[in-house]
A and B are shown apart, each in its own frame.
Chain A
Amino acid sequence: MHKIAIALFGSRVSPRFDCAPGFRVVELDNGTINSSREVYTENFNAAQRISKLRELGVSTLICGGIDMFSAGQLDHHGVKIYSWITGEAQDALECLLQGKLQPGFMLAAGGRCCGRWRFRQGRGTGPGSGFGNSRGGGRRKGWYNP
């Protein structure tokens, strides 16, 4: 059993983990969706959100931007984070189930990846950046160079 949470803003992935009014929590059994429900987190602070996700047994999170504190805490608890995702939540979920989703994906209609976020010089919170899915990125140029 594997639980995925997607930070929601309407039907889209919420641009901010700490401000998302709710999460869609999907339960997977052998790679197929077993159940799906929405959890409301309006007025929750970052710590309360993290404890809610832990309480629900979430092991993977799809979200837009995420602050360093939340990313560090979730990483500490072994939650795999796909951050800086933009687009429809359903598309992001399907992309993840197909094994194609990567942090920083810009999703167009139909779940097609139409680009990746490129940030300025310095540490991002993307892969290999010191927080989130992998550690030790440290200082380097933008974490994605096409």
Chain B
Amino acid sequence: MKQQKHDDRDIILDSIADGVFTVDGHWIITSFNRAAERITGVKRVQAIGQKCFDVFRADICQTACALKHSIETGNEIIDRRINILNDQGQTVPISISTAVLRDKNGRVVGGAETFRDLSDIELLRQEIRGRYTFEDIISQNHDIHQLFEILPDIAASESTVLIEGPTGSGKEIFARAIHNLSPRKKNKFIAVNCGALPDSLLESELFGYVKGAFTDARTDKPGRFALAQGGTLFLDEIGDVSPSVQVKLLRVLQEKQYEPLGGTTTQKADVRIIAATNKNLQQLTSLGRFRDDLYYRLNIVKISLPSLAQRRDDIVLLAEHFIRKFNVKKGKHIEGISAKAIAILMKHDFPGNIRELENIIEHAFVLCRGKEIRPEHLPLELAGNIDSGHLMEVKSINIMRDQNEAGIIKNILLKHSGKRSAVAAELGINKSTLWRKMKKYEISYPPDDQTEQ
């Protein structure tokens, strides 16, 4: 009867699209619905019986638990925005509502919390606002992690930063991350692509103009320096700037002041400059195409970003990130990318770097109707890169690895006379993993040939 009641309750809870869990008076989880499993990544069978904070892992659990507040005061909390940490180590923004559970005598017996995943909304909001922090930069690459280490110090300083890196390597995201980590984060981050504008237009864009400065200048127009006042100005493709604009930029950097086009009054520039280029500025100075005094003014702190080909270990991570992003943007539910498609990506040189990878995934989203991106969904020129020889190579590497592993297990089994616990301990795996591997490689102890003898 009681079991039937529990089953009915689970069916009802599972039909709810939001995550729901309930706790008793000791913060032990008593029910956990399917949506809660999906959002947290924790299975119901594991969640039930555990302390709620060990399962939910919300940022408020340890300081301002909403459920505790509701149980203590009797006041419900509705739509409060917090974040939790899911099973993959990702921070998931959610909104929560809490309620108090009472028995038939009105005594408090626990609490219930419902929560809604806001990841999709937050992802789009971040895209629009461009408020990236360096924790949003996806990488497990050694060089990038070395940059992460110095980024907070760079951000805290007021120094001019020069970011060098090939096109599409994420220079603007790094610049935004520096700005959002700096004391200037409450003010604007203004980006200008210096290479995209002709000389005369760039000057008026940067410094603005006053009424009457030229034909059609009917009103004063503030430049990007004025707009970025108190904030950060990101000058992309600084290597493409003409010598005349270089002189003006040098003056702003030296004297922190400038005059708008046609203006007579000097304006103060309280702006931090972050410049970026895909060219070798030092080389350009030796060729006389870039002023060396400007180069030294810009090159106070230099960050060099590696190309995607130099950080191949990030390709899978980045591809998965773009799949998540396009799932939200395009309303699809693609779960991942096949091993063969990954092999193709790993072989590619990515001259367009991360931007090219993003475009490749977007292309695949157009063609993919299933749940997995496969080689046929990749652009033709890329799929043409892969020859059967390479696939064979990938396959044979896997076979070699398996053969190696099987050989090692066999040797250690012999060494310990088949004692599974000793073998598992030496291999640093648990007994059930050892059992699975023995089953996979069809290893038995004593060996089959020995038994036959």
Contacts and interface: CB of A to CB of B under 8 A. Distances in A.
Interface of A: 9, 12, 14-16, 18-21, 46-47, 64-69, 71-73, 76, 86, 102, 106, 115, 117-120, 122-125, 130-131, 135, 138-139, 145-146
Interface of B: 37-38, 41-43, 46, 50-51, 53-54, 56-57, 59, 61-63, 85, 87-91, 135, 139-140, 142, 145-146, 148-149, 152, 316-317, 336, 430, 432, 436
B88 A86 contact: no
A44 to B, nearest CB: 12
B198 to A, nearest CB: 41
B333 to A, nearest CB: 14
Given A115-B46, A118-B46, A131-B140, A16 B61 contact: yes
A72 B85 CA distance: 15
B140 A72 contact: yes
Contact of B54 (A15, A18, A71): A15
Contacts of B54: 15, 64, 86
The 5 closest A-B pairs by CB, nearest first: A119-B87, A125-B89, A76-B145, A65-B85, A68-B89
Contacts of B336: 139
Given A21-B63, A76-B142, A76-B149, 5 more contacts: A47-B152, A67-B91, A117-B87, A119-B41, A139-B316
Contacts of A9: 53, 61-62
A86 B49 CA distance: 13
From B62, B87, B436, residue with most partner A Cβ within 10 Å: B87
B397 to A, nearest CB: 13
- Per DSSP, chain B at the interface is mixed
B50 A120 contact: no
7 contacts: A19-B59, A19-B62, A68-B89, A86-B51, A124-B89, A139-B336, A146-B432
Contacts of B89: 65-68, 71, 124-125, 131
Given A73-B145, A76-B146, A120 B135 contact: no
A46 B135 contact: yes
A47 B46 CA distance: 31
B433 to A, nearest CB: 8
A15 B62 contact: yes
A118 B316 contact: no
Nearest to B152: A47
B316 A138 contact: yes
B63 A123 contact: no
B182 to A, nearest CB: 13
Contacts of B53: 9, 15
